[in-house]
Every structure is written in structure tokens, then in C-alpha cells.
Amino acid sequence: MRFPMILAAAFTTLAATTASAAPASYELRLEGHVPVICRVSLDATTASSAEPTDLGRMTEFCNSASGYEVRLTHAQGLSDAAVYVDGQKIQLSSTGVTLISRSSTAASQSHSLRLDPGADAGQVGDLSVNITAL
């Protein structure tokens, strides 16, 4: 009977040693990958390219950690037309694509847009907004 008692004492000592050697804290790492999603919308349905016109609200969202750019596409060859983003004038590019908003981080923003065709009245053409992750 002496052998089972020695074995039981050894097991109890081993269990006590293991319990006291356990770390006081633990670390759990959780890692995941989220796809980059960017979207932009303009709530205007129609606009006049012949006179100054409110285009409504532009809402942009992009979760790219590097940021994003929003561009307005319009007719090429314009020399006087401008868009106002939150009251700030941005001259439309003669190339037909104009940068109108930029963020260096992920963001969700809303801006008011107003088109002023100036001397290019009637030549602005169709407008569209596009967002690109950086």
C-alpha cells in the first residue's frame, strides 16, 4: 500500500507546481482582413448646365486606411466652369476630370455641391462623381 500513497503524493506535488508556474496574464491575438469599400453618391437628379445650379449633397465613404480621392467627370475643353464644394470654388479642368475631394485616411463625409458654368454655359455636359481608394 505504500506505493499508491507515494504516487498520490507525487501527483499532488506535480499539480501544485504546475498551477503555481502558470502565467498571471494571457494574450489573445485576433487578426482579420476587411475588404476596401468606397462609395460616393450625389442626390441631385437633374441640373442645368446653362446657369448656376445646386447639385445637392454628395456623400462619400471609404474605409481605405491610405485615404481616397473623389473626381467629377464632365465635358472636356471647359475654361470658365467651376464647382463649389461646401462653398469653396474649384475650377473645372479642361481635361474633363476634376479632383473635388480628398482624404488621407478612411472617412465618411458629406458636402454640398453647386455648379457654376460661367462662360461655358451649355457646354458642361453630363456630370458624374467617382471615388478611388489610394
Q: For the chain, give every domain's residue range.
A: 38-133
Measured CA to CA, the distance from residue 36 to residue 13 in angstroms comes to 55
Q: Tell me, what's the pLDDT at 26?
A: 82
Q: In this predicted model, which residue has the larger pLDDT, 28 or 63?
A: 63
At 85 the three-state DSSP class reads strand
- The answer to whether 69 touches 77, Cβ cutoff 8 Å, is no
pLDDT per residue as tens digits for the range 42-81: 987 677 778 899 999 999 999 999 999 999 999 999 999 9
Q: What is the mean pLDDT of the chain?
A: 86
Measured CA to CA, the distance from residue 52 to residue 7 in angstroms comes to 94
Question: Worst-scoring range by mean pLDDT, 11-25, 34-48, 49-63, 118-132?
Answer: 11-25
Quick one: pLDDT band at residue 32, thresholds 50, 70, 90? confident
Quick one: pLDDT band at residue 1, thresholds 50, 70, 90? very low
**What's the CATH architecture for 38-133?**
Sandwich (2.60)
Q: Tell me, what's the pLDDT at 22?
A: 66
Measured CA to CA, the distance from residue 124 to residue 49 in angstroms comes to 6
- State the average pLDDT over residues 114-133: 93
27, three cell numbers: 494574450
pLDDT at residue 87 tops 70:
yes
- State the average pLDDT over residues 111-119: 95
Q: In this predicted model, which residue has the larger pLDDT, 30 or 80?
A: 80
